[in-house]
Structure formats: structure tokens, C-alpha cells
Amino acid sequence: HNMYGKRSKENKVKRQEDMMYVFQNVSSNGLIPVQSAFMMLAIYKIHMITGCRYSGSGINNEVDCEHVAFHRDMIEKHGAKIQMSPLVYCQGDEGYAPLG
């Protein structure tokens, strides 16, 4: 769920410390499955974005970040897997030390 949206209370990860714990417990070349993410770089397979669109509407027509709806569209229409790399998010962050 959007970290700051109406359903944010349903997120298991609520604080930066929680996120760092998740990232530090995955191998440095591993990927973390997520429902949506946005961090500076995204790589999409062309066939996974066909017919998908950016929209500022959530599942209940609430205002949400457009990439959340885009990723949901990809998952629902094409079975896409959205994943984050801990290297992109954490490398250079104070206190980050990858396993392995």
C-alpha cells in the first residue's frame, strides 16, 4: 500500500528502520518482491506494460501515486512481478551493509 495513503496502516513496513532491516536481510544481488515501488530507475518488459496506464486513482477511486495504479495494472493484466533491488535503494545510505 502507499506508504502515506489511506491504507498505509496495513503496511507491514512502517518506518525507515523496518525497511533497512528488510533490505539488510536479502543478499546484495537479490530482489525484493513488492506491489509497487518508485526509486529513480525502472526497467519494464514492453509486453508487460501493453494496455497499462498511469492514473492517480486508487482501487477505491481515492487519490494515489500514479505508479501504484500502473503497477497494479501490470500485475492484473499481465501477471507482472514488481521487485526492488536493495542496491539501488540502500547503497550509500548510512548504516547499510549488505549480507554476503
Q: Is the pTM of this model over 0.85?
A: no
78: phi then psi, degrees, rounded to nearest 5:
-130, 0
**DSSP notation for 24-76:** HTSBTT--EEES---SS-----HHHHTT----SB-TTS-B--HHHHHHHHHHH
pLDDT (0 to 100) of residue 58: 78
Mean pLDDT in consecutive groups of 10 residues from the start of the chain, 100 residues: 59 71 74 78 91 84 83 94 74 55
pLDDT (0 to 100) of residue 79: 96
